[in-house]
Structure 1
């Protein structure tokens, strides 16, 4: 009782509570940790998520999340994903942050195998090109920027292939076509091919000041077909920001910086571009910059929701019915996983 008396005096507890506390001190209660909440996305979903991510060439979570509701049904249709309806619903609802968190380990595995760390850098630091704004309206599908990418492999001697890149500013629709050299004859033939495979009419072309573009043949063609033809300022190679970005994102990222100078390599390049044209425009979502504000040294950028060029094109109010039907029919024929295996 002496110990009990001292405990009551020191703590001010009631005598009965102090007695109970002493008894409990001799046999401490082991508190078992409560089980956490059952994870919404279990490990059984990881193989399917990795498959979707790999098919779209390892995009960021915000881009993959936007495409999952479209991609998952397509892959299930083609027997590329073996998952239940419940798993498919969960996968299609996964947020961008969850995707990035789940795939962090897989992304790290890719890096040592040669995934490029090169960034576009100054390619995107362009200024406003000179255009006749009374005629040029790049908010409407059909106004494109064109540019050439050289495949000299670090050695500019001799003849080597070039790739013509044509990018629609409004939708991001991009078509590539390689040529044996940058003679105006071959570039014009490549441009004619690009125009023929574009799903909607090209109504405006903006190029740099190279002789492969600025020539009477192309000017006459644009005049005959009522295509607005403008050029960037002399000495400003990066005026065409949209097409310069595609040079890096599509051409350099896919075929690298090697030298291509043989007929066989030229044929292979164009086979790649034909497959990639479908893949890029129908399956790869893109984000467009809406606004950019500067607060001192900090620059805040606001982008729109990720959409594929196909989605942007068919949703545009000026798009005619026939191109929409053509694009939707082409989209229904796509087998994403098989197409990606062909490209890579």
Structure 2
């Protein structure tokens, strides 16, 4: 529009200028400069002809204050300091630079050292933004949303949960994909009682509703208390008409957490790591033999965890400015917490005491260790077989004539 603007009269220029300002949002005087300068030809002497082109920009006239040497030193220190943020790094720079230089971890000239002493937290974050982006971790979730049936299941948050009555359990699935989400692989159904911390786990072949439902019934049959309520995430393996109908028939309260709010299931999320991941790790388990090993391991683990592993429960949390004070109760095993529950029947108390007296925690630990070794060996063997098959296929394809 610049050529039209320069050829137009005063009123037409005003109309074009109004249109440009409304389209771009530019300041009116800046728009005048753009329309009047772009494409304008200026003759300087007889041989020099200048044509205005606003698409071409001139280079910076001055050098960067924080040059390549500063950026390289900053990157090195940032990596050594575990890639902390700018506000934390700028506070430790005066202290850590002499230490690193004394141990010959970095070599800085006087100018670079002085600039690192003057650098601000915002500048650190700006300079390191490309490096930080390289190391961003992107989490993977195996939870696929359920159907519209979830609108029939009420939402609750962890603050609304009554943790004083035994029988209300949170449940979740832990996937054993080993970093490869393709195909079917084993899943662990993890259920944790909010009041006592009693935890039950059972492995299933995949996330199919039928296997999850069977595992839920199996866990329910061996619970030392009556199952009064279950709370899950929004995955389709839980949010389905079959489970909802079962809970209505058995008069079991069925609730769900909010989508994307893992803290709504904070009790079971803690057990996902402290019980499941610490016991079986992060390898891929996808064979029937591995499924049997997982459930054999969980059979010993439930006794070891519930009878001999004390847990602490948060009593209160108070905020004093930026400081948060947390108070916990005395550590007790889920077994001891259950015995303190008044709603536990005398028959079940006798059963728990009898089972407790028959257990040897040292033997349980040895049995768990043996099963863990077998599980790890099967995972390593299947991984080697998979790699060998892949290499064989690739070499066979390369050798095949075209």
Q: Is the 8 A contact 1:130 1:231 kept in 2?
A: yes
Which residue number in structure 2 is paired with residue 318 of structure 1?
A: 343
> Which of the residues 297, 300, 321 maps onto 1:272?
297
CA distance in 1, matches of 2:330, 2:263: 26
Question: Are 1:218 and 2:243 counterparts?
Answer: yes
Please report how far the alpha carbon of residue 329 of structure 1 lies from its aligned counterpart in structure 2 after TM superposition.
1.0
Q: Is the 8 A contact 2:157 2:257 kept in 1?
A: no
Question: Are 1:343 and 2:368 counterparts?
Answer: yes
Question: Are 1:252 and 2:280 counterparts?
Answer: no
Which residue number in structure 2 is paired with residue 287 of structure 1?
A: 312
TM-score normalised per structure 1: 0.61
Q: Is the 8 A contact 1:136 1:228 kept in 2?
A: no
Assess, with a 3 A threshold, how the Cα gap between structure 1 residues 243 and 132 changes in structure 2: closer, same or farther. closer
Which residue number in structure 2 is paired with residue 12 of structure 1?
A: none
Question: Are 1:184 and 2:209 counterparts?
Answer: yes
Residues 236-275 of structure 1 show CA distances to partners (whole Å, capped at 9, x for unaligned) of 2442000000001000111111100011000000000010
CA distance in 1, matches of 2:316, 2:198: 21
Assess, with a 3 A threshold, how the Cα gap between structure 1 residues 300 and 237 changes in structure 2: closer, same or farther. closer
Q: How does 1:160-179 map to 2 (within 5 A)?
A: 160-179=185-204
Q: Is the 8 A contact 2:176 2:283 kept in 1?
A: yes
Please report how far the alpha carbon of residue 196 of structure 1 lies from its aligned counterpart in structure 2 after TM superposition.
0.7
CA distance in 2, matches of 1:235, 1:309: 29
Q: How does 1:79-98 map to 2 (within 5 A)?
A: none
Question: Are 1:261 and 2:279 counterparts?
Answer: no
Question: Are 1:242 and 2:267 counterparts?
Answer: yes
CA distance in 1, matches of 2:155, 2:331: 29
CA distance in 1, matches of 2:309, 2:257: 28
TM-score normalised per structure 2: 0.52
Which residue number in structure 2 is paired with residue 193 of structure 1?
A: 218
CA distance in 1, matches of 2:311, 2:224: 18
Q: What is the aligned length?
A: 216
Structure 1 residue matching 2:264: 3-state secondary structure: coil
Question: Are 1:150 and 2:175 counterparts?
Answer: yes
CA distance in 2, matches of 1:253, 1:263: 22
For the aligned residue pairs, the C-alpha RMSD in angstroms reads 1.9
> Which of the residues 227, 230, 236 maps onto 1:205?
230
Whose radius of gyration is greater, 1 or 2?
Answer: 2
Q: Is the 8 A contact 1:132 1:230 kept in 2?
A: no
Higher RCO (Cα < 8 Å, 6 or more apart):
1
> Which of the residues 355, 358, 375 maps onto 1:330?
355
Provide structure 1 residue ranges, at least 5 long, that are not aligned to the other structure. 1-128
CA distance in 1, matches of 2:315, 2:348: 26
Please report how far the alpha carbon of residue 155 of structure 1 lies from its aligned counterpart in structure 2 after TM superposition.
0.6
Q: Is the 8 A contact 1:136 1:204 kept in 2?
A: no
Which residue number in structure 1 is paired with residue 162 of structure 2?
A: 137
Residues 277-296 of structure 1 show CA distances to partners (whole Å, capped at 9, x for unaligned) of 00100000010000111112
CA distance in 2, matches of 1:206, 1:276: 23
Question: Are 1:230 and 2:255 counterparts?
Answer: yes
Please report how far the alpha carbon of residue 132 of structure 1 lies from its aligned counterpart in structure 2 after TM superposition.
9.5
- Greater Cα offset, 314-323 or 251-260: 314-323
CA distance in 1, matches of 2:185, 2:286: 4
Please report how far the alpha carbon of residue 136 of structure 1 lies from its aligned counterpart in structure 2 after TM superposition.
6.2
Which residue number in structure 1 is paired with residue 391 of structure 2?
A: none
Please report how far the alpha carbon of residue 138 of structure 1 lies from its aligned counterpart in structure 2 after TM superposition.
2.8
Q: Is the 8 A contact 2:306 2:333 kept in 1?
A: yes
CA distance in 2, matches of 1:321, 1:221: 28
Please report how far the alpha carbon of residue 165 of structure 1 lies from its aligned counterpart in structure 2 after TM superposition.
0.1
Provide structure 2 residue ranges, at least 5 long, that are not aligned to the other structure. 1-153, 370-402
Structure 2 residue matching 1:290: 3-state secondary structure: strand
Please report how far the alpha carbon of residue 149 of structure 1 lies from its aligned counterpart in structure 2 after TM superposition.
0.3
CA distance in 1, matches of 2:279, 2:161: 31
Residues 132-171 of structure 1 show CA distances to partners (whole Å, capped at 9, x for unaligned) of 99x9633101000000000000110111000000000000
